[in-house]
Chain A
């Protein structure tokens, strides 16, 4: 009984994670480049440099 309950629980966990895995697999996000963009944009921003012009 305990074993079958564990099996059911495992199946539920696997099945419920399928759509998440599927959607993540559908759209790749390049987190390494995003981190570099964040670093450049927040650490070395020039956004206010144009304004005195």
Chain B
């Protein structure tokens, strides 16, 4: 993590991380350690240099990061700043003809508030009791597919508007209130060939952004000097997942999988998101190998890429091995993962789908395991209850029927394979590290990571040794209810 660094999907570092994890798993004694391609993904990208300073009315360096898949400045450039807050397409007219050659200080006022609560949190008994309560479907917010489509289109239109207006650069602020030099940075443009934005985009620490915005609000002239070097990589449109196995014995054709996404965003080193998940999965299989376990079923580890761009690596693996749904006709929605393609038609399984007992995922940071989400699979509750019992003294006490979302277990769940994500203590995940420049080694909690590794190794072991595979849910082939139905 310290040496390889950030692991943005498509970046040279991602490939180095793939190679390193493959070699490390082979060194641990796992079999069939290899990389499996998925894709085509699109363009690779990495930031090599960023330096931004105010040159007028004061001279001061500024904390700023390049947004992924945006171009650099081609050397040092200087420009005057202008504020713009564009929330919808109708706002374009307000700024038309005013932005050429300018640095756009973009977005609403930054809300920097004092930190009144500890940014560090462990789940209390009350928190766990709430997670244990199932939310019946009527209480959930409806899935807003059309809203998602509208948002995607607006971002495309906005980037085109900035390009047409010949804007020099766009600088926004993270829309979190934490401040203090923590900058949450994701992408500013598309990784798809032919859709690359032509305007450099950056995210700035909220306090620095606010200083510029206040000066502009007072009608003072503000100039910045920018030097940003970013590189796009087009040599290999495919991306890779790292796969390795501990072979099974009498039920070797059946599989128990464990996995985590290895990719990250680019401003930190992705230590908690999701270096933590990747290293605990590697440690879990190392423990099983060290004990010379001979599992009945084959144990297979998958370290995914493309998770941050929409579960793409696990989705690619599931489609190649276990089955998929047809793609949606709408070109803008063509890359939607299987779990969002229920509209397109029924799921068609491949033979290997019937052989996978379970998939266990970790992707909620460095905090220890406090329970497990059952993904509405009631039949696994008594099984997990029994497996969880030996870990009560380590704080794992909660089973919930809830269906948790947002990460790679969903790719398996959508394919009818029992896929599970653990409940973890948040520690500083939402307040400091998740997608931020401060997602670094120092934020990891070694004792928590040991606890996670031991529990995952035990769950995987029990699943691999059990007489039967884990019970499954039915695959729902009806189109989902939409907000407009």
- The chain A residues found within 8 Å of chain B, CB to CB, are 23-24, 26-31, 33-34, 36-38, 40-42, 44-48, 50-53
Q: Which of B102-110, B198-206, B452-460 contacts A (4 or more CB under 8 A)?
A: B452-460
The answer to whether A52 and B1 touch (CB under 8 A), given A24-B386, A47-B280, is: yes
Q: Which of A23, A26, A30, A40 has the most CB of B within 10 A?
A: A40
B462 touches A47 (CB 8 A): no
B446 within 8 A of partner (CB): yes
Q: Known contacts A27-B387, A38-B390, A41-B454; can you find 14 more A-B pairs with CB under 8 A?
A: A23-B385, A29-B386, A29-B389, A33-B291, A37-B288, A37-B454, A37-B461, A38-B454, A40-B287, A47-B283, A47-B449, A48-B279, A48-B444, A50-B279
Residue count of chain B within 8 Å CB distance of chain A: 38
A-B contact pairs, 13 of them (CB 8 A): A26-B386, A27-B382, A29-B389, A29-B462, A30-B465, A34-B458, A37-B454, A37-B457, A38-B454, A41-B454, A51-B1, A51-B2, A51-B444
- The B contact surface, by secondary structure, is helix
Given the complex, which residues of B lie within 8 Å of A26, measured CB to CB?
A: 382, 386
The answer to whether A53 and B449 touch (CB under 8 A), given A27-B386, A33-B291, A37-B457, is: no
Given the complex, which residues of B lie within 8 Å of A33, measured CB to CB?
A: 291, 293, 458, 461
Min distance, Cβ B313 to any Cβ of chain A, angstroms: 19
The answer to whether A27 and B283 touch (CB under 8 A), given A52-B2, A53-B20, is: no
B161 within 8 A of partner (CB): no
B475 within 8 A of partner (CB): no
B290 touches A40 (CB 8 A): yes
The answer to whether A30 and B462 touch (CB under 8 A), given A41-B283, A53-B3, is: yes
In Å, the complex CA distance between A44 and B282 comes to 14
Instruction: Scan residues 366-408 of chain B and give those whose CB is less than 8 A from a CB of chain A.
Output: 382-383, 385-387, 389-390
